[in-house]
Each structure stands twice: as structure tokens, then as C-alpha cells.
Amino acid sequence: MPLVRPFRTSFGTETDRDVILVRVRTPDGDGWGECVAMSEPGYSSEYVESAQLVLRRHLVPRLLAAGDVSASRVAEVLAGVRGHPMAKAALEMAVMDAELRSTGESFGEALGAARASVECGVSVGIPASIDELIEQVDGYLAEGYLRIKLKIEPGWDIEPVKAVRKTFGDQLALQVDANASYTLDDGEALGALDGFNVLMLEQPLAEDDLTGHARLARRIGTPICLDESIGSAKMAEAAIELGACEIVNIKAGRVGGYLEAAAVHDLCYSLGVPVWCGGMLETGLGRAANLALAALPGFTLPGDTSASDRYFLKDITAPFVMHDGLLDVPTGPGLGVSPDIDTLTKVTTAVEEIRSR
């Protein structure tokens, strides 16, 4: 699926989205899941081809061999396969969608949603120039987005933040995301962000460097948010206890599924740690599930739950359209949305079916 504009981060540039969808067929109905792995192993070690392989050879066969498995048991059934949280999350999401569609319950109801709509933020990739950045931010604010996130990297950090603050003022809710592109030696540069009143500095250091994040947190005033470092509720608890972060970005694909994502939320909520829902350029299927997750009570900060037209000229579901900076949480059974089969067929490059014996 071609993106509306190239999306550049510190680990690469995407011009289109290569998506794995999982469709689970059960006697009670079908369900859909979306794998958020990218085409290359930049954001994480998972990527599209590896997710296809592990689904085909290991995850789907184990799920089929287990028989009639509820969504709450998918993680347990797949636990014997180490890693691959994004592939596992796609499979769990599809099973959960099928299960909820059969009972008439929505994703939001199942997860514990407390709101009917969710505040929208937008993630702005690294452009070619400051002028282009200002133009993009101005456009997103005109559309009604309530929070701007700037991607940064060494050499592209203070100047773009300074320019955005100067142009749009201190009232703008602004945060930055480094995608693990810095080291502790960059502490002085990162400390300079303190002068620009940014909401948070997201994932400045390597994902396995919790102690480094804790040291950095003691050196700078800007709150640190962790993304790539948080692979489970247990890892979130460790990061918070170490003082490695004050805010947590929750992505269901990164933690292995929406049920574990809800567990991360519950932990942070109990500890008074703010959370928000990160995005991975999802289609309408993943966006529907993210909206249900982001409606839980602990999600007090706008996430990357942008409207469909932020990414795609034509989504595979009915588009999610923002109103007054908000997106509505689907209320229909399961995800509350389904792919338009004609649209899906046009963008499908391959289909593989695996049946139980």
C-alpha cells in the first residue's frame, strides 16, 4: 500500500507499506489480524518475510494443533516459540476478532475501553529541510491534530524543535522520538531539549539499555518515554522501577498482542505512569484495534492514532475520519470494521491458506 508521503526515521525511509494480514476461519465466523512488522529489520528484529515464515512453519501449526483455542490462550499456546511478538500479535488479534464477532462484543468492550473517542496525534518523519517540516506541521495542525511528534536523530534535533516552537508557540503539544539513535555521549545535545518544553523524549538510547536511560533521566529535565525497550508488562515494570522512564508508549505488536498491551496499561495505570498508543502505519484493521486500546482509562496522552488519510489515499477498510481532533472507537462486534474485499484484492500480492487436518 503506497504511503501518502515518504516516512523517514533514523532507521530508514518507507514509501509504501508491505502488510501481512491474517484471516482466521472458525465454525462461528471469521476474524482479521494485522502484522505490524516492517519490510526491513530496522525498528525491530522482525520483518515481513520473517513473520511470514514463522507464521507458516511454527505459529499457525501450533495453534491449529491445539484445537479450539480462545483468544486468552493464544499467547500460552505460542509461548514455546521464542520472540516474534508481531507475528504472534497478528494471530491473537485475528482469533480475538473472530471470537468477539461471534458473541457480539466489541474490541473496546473486551479490553475495557472507558471512552467513545480518542484524541489524535501525528508522527512527522524527518523531511529534507526545516521549511518542509514547518509546512507539514502547519498542515497537520490545520487538519486538527492535537499533538505533534517529531522524529529526530543526531544532527537533526535541536534546530527542528527550535523552528517548530518558534513558528507555532509554546502552546503546541510537542514531543520527539529518537528511535534509539543516540548514546549517553549525546547527553549534552539531548539536555538542550529541556529549553523547549517538549512533552517527552521517546526512546533516545538502545532498546536493551535500561540503565543508560536511567542515567540519562537523572541528567536531563525532559521526561523520557520508552518504546522499543518495552516488550511486556514485566519489562515495563523493570524500566519504571529502575527510573528509566516516566512515560510508556504501548504498541500491541511490540508486546505480542492486545491482551498483553492491556496488561502493560493496567500495570502503568496502577503505578500512576502515563501511557499512550504508538502507531506502526496500520491499515484500518490495526487502527480499529488501536483505537479500542487507546480508549482505556490510563491512556491520558494523544497517541499516533491518526486518520486513515494521514497514511493512505485509500484504506482497505472504510476510512477513519478525524473530527475535532478525535477518532471514534468502533462499537460493532469484534474490530467493528472489515476489509472491503474489492480494495483488498487490488492490493494483495499473495495469499496462502493453512488448514487444520
Positions annotated as catalytic residues are: 151, 251
Would you mind telling me the total number of residues written for the chain in this entry?
A: 357
Q: Which residue has the cell 518515554?
A: 225
Could you tell me where the DSSP H helices lie in the chain? 48-54, 60-65, 71-78, 85-103, 107-111, 130-143, 158-168, 187-191, 210-219, 233-242, 252-255, 258-271, 284-294, 341-347
d(C-alpha 326, C-alpha 305), whole Å? 9
Measured between alpha carbons, how far is residue 97 from residues 52, 88, 92, 139, 333 in Å? 20, 14, 8, 35, 8
Task: Return the SS3 of 301.
Answer: coil
Q: Going by C-beta distance under 8 Å and a sequence separation of 6 or more, which residues neighbour residue 214?
A: 242, 243, 244
* Residue 212 near residue 241, CB atoms below 8 Å: no
Q: Going by C-beta distance under 8 Å and a sequence separation of 6 or more, which residues neighbour residue 182?
A: 154, 189, 190, 204, 205
Q: Is 112 left (phi over 0), alpha (psi -120 to 50) or beta?
A: left
